[in-house]
């Protein structure tokens, strides 16, 4: 028995040490008698969470911080801001969710669907005000957000939904080439966002009398092959979805489609100069900024229960003349004037990016009703 204990002693000792260290680091989150929330003079604490190190999320988070700063909430001056990123590890996300819901934060801002879910689950008992952004369809996350009534959501949980504009992308493709019939795509069925986009794409194809030719992949290495297989089945254009598995292989897709003389389009305008014919997407920095401004309202005391869950999709269209001219039949893909007018930027035939507008967001941030009742007209 003693021998067994001795053999376990190193492990037990290390565990005790870790528990001790963890508790010591956590001393300041103890409840003091008569303590009502934050101690006087301390800055409000804000946690910003992203699920992974991807540029879309990075842009969203940068936007959130910028939005907060615009409203006068700068890190280390007016607020204490801490960023969390589990790097795609769902178990670390669990730990982070507990840390932010228990760690004395005054506001939690989550980006992406998995982070929303995992924090909302941990937050059920604690009910720390939580804002979400970069979520495609909030009502499908199982967090209690209603599909029909924007004000029907858990009182401590609200935010912006940003549906990936797959349907718009298909409509624009048809607008450019009215004779377009078969569009190919490659996606990973394991990703919620891809699933939503493909569902939208199928619906819009049915509506416009087009056909979606798709192949599925489960790793980035298989994207090239799948693209080639879709092309072999006869398509006129190729849609690159916002899919974490497909995106890293985008150059491979460009190479293969270019060889087959097939134009590509995507929902990420940033990728257009690399070789897409056009891209229509959400400006995630703008979405973040809107969320940051909303966060500022909550920090000023607005009740999250009164904030409706709304869709916010600052549309950004980028067209690529260079990619069009490279096609065998550029006139079939001529950008109509109405589309050029809506575009945020155009890549010139020489390959230079020509920004047409300063404001990337013609949709403008979704207006949220004022927290205070409208002032009565003064006599």
Partner 1 sequence: MTLLLSALTVGLIFALLALGVLVSFRIFGIPDITTDGSFTLGASVTAVLCVHGVNPILATLAGTLAGAGAGMLTGILHTKFHINALLSGILMMTALYSVNLRVMQKSNLPLMQYTTLGSWGEAAGRRVLGEEAFLVLGWRVSAGEVALFLGALGAVTVVAWLLYLFFRTHVGVAMRATGNNAQMIRALGANVQVYIILGLGIANGLVALGGSLLAQFQGFADVQMGIGMIVWGLASVIIGEALTGSRSLGLTLVGAAMGSVLFRLLVAIALRWGLDPNDLKLITAVFVFIALVLPGLIKKLRRRRHPVIPAT
Give the binding site for partner 1 (CB under 8 A). Answer: 4, 7-8, 10-12, 14-15, 18-19, 21-23, 25-26, 29-32, 53, 82-87, 89-92, 94-96, 98-99, 101-103, 113-114, 117-118, 120-122, 124-126, 141-144, 189-192, 195, 218
For residue 313, the minimal CB distance to partner 1 (Å) is 22
For residue 135, the minimal CB distance to partner 1 (Å) is 12
For residue 142, the minimal CB distance to partner 1 (Å) is 2
Of the pair 94, 252, the CB lying nearest partner 1 is at 94
For residue 130, the minimal CB distance to partner 1 (Å) is 14
The DSSP secondary structure of 27-51, one letter per residue, reads: GGGSPPTT--SSPTTPPPEEEEE-S
Cα–Cα distance for residue pair 49/109, rounded to 1 Å? 6
The DSSP secondary structure of 314-333, one letter per residue, reads: -EEEEEEHHHHHHSS-GGGG
Two tokens, residue 84: 């969390």
Burial 131-157 (b: 16+ CB within 10 A, else e): bbbbbbbbbebebebeeeebeebbebb
Of the pair 181, 220, the CB lying nearest partner 1 is at 220
Contact 339, 367 (CB under 8 A): no
Cα–Cα distance for residue pair 314/282, rounded to 1 Å? 5
Of the pair 140, 211, the CB lying nearest partner 1 is at 140
Nearest one of 195, 193, 253 to 223, comparing CA atoms:
253
Of the pair 141, 264, the CB lying nearest partner 1 is at 141
Burial 348-367 (b: 16+ CB within 10 A, else e): eeeeeeeeeeeebbeeebbe
For residue 374, the minimal CB distance to partner 1 (Å) is 36
Of the pair 94, 177, the CB lying nearest partner 1 is at 94
For residue 177, the minimal CB distance to partner 1 (Å) is 32
Of the pair 118, 347, the CB lying nearest partner 1 is at 118
Nearest one of 198, 248, 196, 193 to 224, comparing CA atoms:
248
Of the pair 53, 364, the CB lying nearest partner 1 is at 53
Cα–Cα distance for residue pair 278/260, rounded to 1 Å? 18
Of the pair 12, 353, the CB lying nearest partner 1 is at 12
Of the pair 118, 134, the CB lying nearest partner 1 is at 118
For residue 219, the minimal CB distance to partner 1 (Å) is 10
Q: Residue 132: beta bridge partners?
A: 110, 159
For residue 250, the minimal CB distance to partner 1 (Å) is 21
Two tokens, residue 206: 């049915």
Contact 167, 203 (CB under 8 A): yes
For residue 264, the minimal CB distance to partner 1 (Å) is 24
Chain centroid, CA 302 distance in Å: 24
């Amino acid at each position: 028995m003693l021998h067994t204990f001795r053999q376990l002693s190193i492990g037990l000792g290390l565990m005790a040490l870790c528990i001790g260290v963890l508790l010591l680091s956590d001393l300041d989150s103890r409840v003091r008698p008569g303590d009502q929330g934050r101690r006087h003079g301390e800055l409000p604490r804000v946690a910003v969470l992203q699920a992974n190190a991807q540029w879309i999320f990075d842009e969203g988070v940068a936007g959130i911080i910028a939005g907060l700063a615009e409203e006068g909430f700068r890190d280390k001056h007016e607020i204490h801001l801490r960023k969390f990123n589990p790097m795609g590890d769902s178990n670390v996300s669990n730990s982070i969710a507990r840390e932010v819901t228990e760690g004395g934060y005054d506001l939690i801002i989550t980006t992406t669907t998995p982070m929303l879910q995992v924090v909302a689950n941990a937050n059920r008992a604690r009910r720390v005000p939580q804002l979400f952004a970069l979520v495609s369809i909030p009502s499908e996350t199982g967090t209690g957000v209603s599909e029909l009534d924007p004000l029907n959501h858990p009182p401590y949980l609200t935010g912006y939904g940003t549906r990936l504009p797959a349907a718009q992308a298909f409509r624009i493709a048809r607008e450019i080439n009215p004779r377009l019939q078969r569009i190919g795509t490659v996606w990973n069925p394991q990703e919620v966002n891809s699933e939503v986009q493909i569902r939208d794409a199928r619906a819009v194809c049915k509506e416009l009398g087009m056909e979606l030719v798709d192949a599925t992949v489960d790793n980035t290495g298989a994207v090239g092959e799948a693209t080639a297989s879709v092309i072999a089945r006869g398509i006129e254009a190729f849609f690159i979805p916002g899919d974490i598995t497909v995106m890293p292989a985008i150059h491979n897709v460009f190479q293969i489609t270019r060889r087959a003389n097939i134009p590509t389009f995507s929902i990420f305008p940033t990728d257009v100069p690399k070789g897409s014919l056009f891209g229509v997407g959400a400006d995630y920095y703008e979405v973040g900024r809107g969320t940051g401004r909303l966060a500022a309202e909550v920090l000023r005391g607005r009740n999250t229960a009164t904030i409706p869950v709304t869709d916010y999709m600052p549309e950004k269209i980028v067209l690529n003349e260079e990619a069009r001219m490279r096609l065998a039949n550029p006139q079939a893909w001529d950008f109509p004037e109405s589309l050029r007018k809506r575009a945020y930027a155009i890549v010139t035939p020489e390959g230079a990016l020509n920004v047409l507008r300063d404001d990337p967001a013609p949709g403008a941030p979704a207006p949220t009703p004022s927290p205070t009742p409208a002032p009565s007209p003064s006599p």
